[in-house]
Amino acid sequence: MSSTSSPFANTFNHVNMAADMVLSKIFYKEKQIAKREKEIMQEGRRREKGRDCSCCQAGIAISTINTSNAS
């Protein structure tokens, strides 16, 4: 009897696949959060440098809309 036909081996494979799916979703969310944190820091730097002009504000508004639509 091979190990792949064992019900325990099949269950173990299913658990591994489910764990991989969960981890990939967690890493994807962490990547999205890191991207948003970077955008917020860039926004803060623009304001510190006095580049709070209307074109920068429009860019911030567009990026905010894009990130809110993505979730």
Total-model pTM: 0.46
pLDDT in tens, 15-48: 999 999 999 999 999 999 999 999 988 888 777 6
DSSP the chain: --GGGSHHHHHHHHHHHHHHHHHHHHHHHHHHHHHHHHHHHHHHHHHHTT---HHHHHHHHHHHHHHHHH-
What residue ranges do the domains of the chain occupy?
3-70
